[in-house]
Chains A and B, each alone.
With several copies, the nearest count.
Chain A
Amino acid sequence: MIPAGGEKSSIIRMFHVHLNYGPKKALIDITLDIAKNQFVFISGPSGAGKTTLLKLFYYGEPVSEGQVLIDGINLNRIPRKRIPYLRRKFGIIFQDYKLIPSKTVYENVALVLEAAGKKPRLIQKKVKSVLRLVDMEDRLKSFPPSLSGGEQQRIAVARAIVGDPKIILADEPTGSLDDDSADTVLELLRGVHIRGATVIIATHDKTLIRKTGGHVLYLKQGRLETSTFIEKKYDNTIF
């Protein structure tokens, strides 16, 4: 993970990106380069700009200045019509889950595949299997508001991985989970990584980073402070 590096295999590149929310400078002069199949953490204190940075990747927000290239596409020049296709490259676990309250768990997860025009047969099989992975196969017909925080988060994880996306963006994917569930989710993300996806996790949780290891981008007040590689450490402090 070398910022502004020019490797052939990079999937996300940013050049001198700024993002302002009105007078507020949320991101300042970010330059980075994420290679295909990397496992990256974005860390930093509350309000540092982690979520905002992820937003720029999937065009959740246009940059105020600078260039973003996703899989070769320059987002400054992407036509409106192509945005849905850009977003299908991503599987996103949102910090606030963003589940549709009026749709069942099954429908929420199936939505990604339906939107991508997949066959009903395939959808059913995939959705069920992915819900089994997050241990929610018995809540298919529940509605998100009747789920616990952790359960909602696991549905969000399921939805993010169901479409076999090229890139996973996970914003605090284990914030509401106990250690066991968190490990399950982490295992899932690692599995997706092994099968070839690029995984980007925004988190403030140092334990999580230590558990897996990977490239760490450290943000502070909108600036990319450091970019280091952290080795996987087994940390077995038990309760």
Chain B
Amino acid sequence: MITLYFKRAIDDIFKNRFLNLVTVITISLSILIASSFILFFVNAGAVINSWKKGLRIMAYLEPTISKTGLEELKHAILSIDGVQRLQYIPKQEALRRLKAQMKHQASLFENLTDNPLPDSFEIRMTAIADSWQKIESVAARIESLPWVDEVEYGQRWFARFAYITTLFRLASYAMGILFFMAIVFIVANTIRLVIYSRREEVEIMRLVGATDNFIKIPFYIEGLIQGALGAILGLGVLFSSFVFITSNMDQGVLPDLFHLQFLSTAIVTGIIISSMLVGWLGCYISLKQFLNA
């Protein structure tokens, strides 16, 4: 029975080549838009994450801290939610870093006999804990710990950064939802047009005693096939463009900073399955409309 439906669906695709071609092309273009968008945000997300790695909270310690106090404090900080790892920076190291950083003001350090800097912890956050509020609350908790003199976390710069990533994330969510809906509608609309131009055929089948399922199932199968073909085609084009662009670009701009990556297998599979679902859904809605009319 199901093989019969499959045979009819395949046959139908060949019989209505023009309509099917148009549908598959529209689906593939839609998938191309959606997936290039996803690709962009996956890579932009990677860029942001690699930046986030630069974020750190400095905790300056009281000079009176003992060895055991240091250990206790370390554990206390690590147990705070959102802290990924921390590094102890003794004051000698701090001075060395400062000198390296300020080579143009090196004259400052010339007549320095004593090291006036405090010991400190450099604390890195987990990738997810990147919101302004989160950092602030972690910093406050660290500051309240014993032996911590003061914390520092590049407020102004970070605030701006957090604002932008938040904005970026919001924009990408909004656009993601919008694109997804737009594409579902576009594909459904296209399929609706196709079925509209085949409504006579549907009507004739009903008149000669075909049940709704007999009429619908081949259309559903066609929708699934079109969705799959469209997705594969769209992703194929995206992949080719991606390979073309990255291979031409990596020579120009610094290649070792980020590695642009293509969509993961999971996302690709997800896109294909969504596309099939949309293909089916388009048929489902349109047929419902034309069969009940």
Q: Tell whether A pairs with B.
A: yes
> How far does the alpha carbon of A29 sit from the alpha carbon of B214 in the complex, in Å?
36
8 A Cβ contacts from B201-236 to A:
201, 204-212, 214
Contacts A100-B201, A103-B15 given: A85-B208 contact, CB under 8 Å? no
Q: Is the CB of B16 within 8 A of A84?
A: no
Q: DSSP majority for the B interface?
A: helix
Q: Is the CB of B207 within 8 A of A60?
A: yes
Please give the distance in Å from B293's CB to the nearest CB on chain A. 13
Residue of A nearest to B208 (CB): A112
Contact of B205 among A58, A111, A120 (CB under 8 A): A111
Name the B residues within 8 Å of A92 (CB-CB). Answer: 207-208
Name the A residues within 8 Å of B208 (CB-CB). Answer: 87, 92, 111-112, 115, 159
Residue of A nearest to B17 (CB): A102
Name the A residues within 8 Å of B15 (CB-CB). Answer: 102-103
With contacts defined as CB atoms under 8 Å apart, how many contacts are there between chain A and chain B in the complex? 53
Give per-residue flags for A38-77: 1 if the beta carbon is below 8 A from chain B beta carbons, else 0: 0000000000000000000010100000000000000000
Q: Is the CB of B205 within 8 A of A115?
A: yes
> How far does the alpha carbon of A99 sit from the alpha carbon of B198 in the complex, in Å?
12
Please give the distance in Å from B292's CB to the nearest CB on chain A. 9
Please give the distance in Å from B200's CB to the nearest CB on chain A. 8
Q: Is the CB of B214 within 8 A of A115?
A: yes
Q: Is the CB of B204 within 8 A of A98?
A: yes
> How far does the alpha carbon of A224 sit from the alpha carbon of B208 in the complex, in Å?
27
Contact of A88 among B16, B201, B205, B209 (CB under 8 A): B209
> How far does the alpha carbon of A215 sit from the alpha carbon of B205 in the complex, in Å?
31
Contact of B210 among A98, A101, A111 (CB under 8 A): A111
Name the A residues within 8 Å of B201 (CB-CB). Answer: 100-103
Name the B residues within 8 Å of A112 (CB-CB). Answer: 208-209
Q: Is A2 an interface residue (CB 8 A)?
A: no
Residue of A nearest to B210 (CB): A115
> How far does the alpha carbon of A98 sit from the alpha carbon of B201 in the complex, in Å?
9
Residue of A nearest to B1 (CB): A117
Contacts A100-B201, A102-B201, A115-B214 given: A87-B207 contact, CB under 8 Å? yes
Q: Is the CB of A116 within 8 A of B209?
A: yes
Q: Is the CB of A115 within 8 A of B204?
A: no
Q: Is the CB of A84 within 8 A of B204?
A: no
> How far does the alpha carbon of A125 sit from the alpha carbon of B80 in the complex, in Å?
80
> How far does the alpha carbon of A94 sit from the alpha carbon of B214 in the complex, in Å?
22
> How far does the alpha carbon of A60 sit from the alpha carbon of B204 in the complex, in Å?
11
Contact of A84 among B4, B8, B198, B206 (CB under 8 A): B206
Please give the distance in Å from B38's CB to the nearest CB on chain A. 37
Residue of B nearest to A89 (CB): B209
Name the B residues within 8 Å of A163 (CB-CB). Answer: 209
> How far does the alpha carbon of A137 sit from the alpha carbon of B249 in the complex, in Å?
64
Name the B residues within 8 Å of A85 (CB-CB). Answer: 209
> How far does the alpha carbon of A90 sit from the alpha carbon of B206 in the complex, in Å?
12
Name the A residues within 8 Å of B16 (CB-CB). Answer: 102
Name the B residues within 8 Å of A120 (CB-CB). Answer: 4
Q: Is the CB of B207 within 8 A of A115?
A: no
Residue of A nearest to B214 (CB): A115
Name the B residues within 8 Å of A98 (CB-CB). Answer: 204, 207
> How far does the alpha carbon of A84 sit from the alpha carbon of B214 in the complex, in Å?
10
Q: Is the CB of A87 within 8 A of B209?
A: yes
> How far does the alpha carbon of A59 sit from the alpha carbon of B61 in the complex, in Å?
89
> How far does the alpha carbon of A159 sit from the alpha carbon of B200 in the complex, in Å?
17
Q: Is the CB of A100 within 8 A of B207?
A: no
8 A Cβ contacts from B2-28 to A:
4, 8, 15-16
Please give the distance in Å from B253's CB to the nearest CB on chain A. 53
Most buried by A among B198, B205, B209: B209
User: 5 tightest A-B contacts by CB?
Assistant: A115-B210, A88-B209, A87-B209, A84-B211, A102-B15
8 A-B interface contacts by CB (under 8 A): A84-B209, A84-B214, A85-B209, A88-B209, A100-B200, A115-B209, A115-B211, A163-B209
Interface residues of A (CB under 8 A from B): 58, 60, 81, 83-85, 87-88, 90, 92, 94, 98-103, 111-112, 114-116, 120, 159, 163
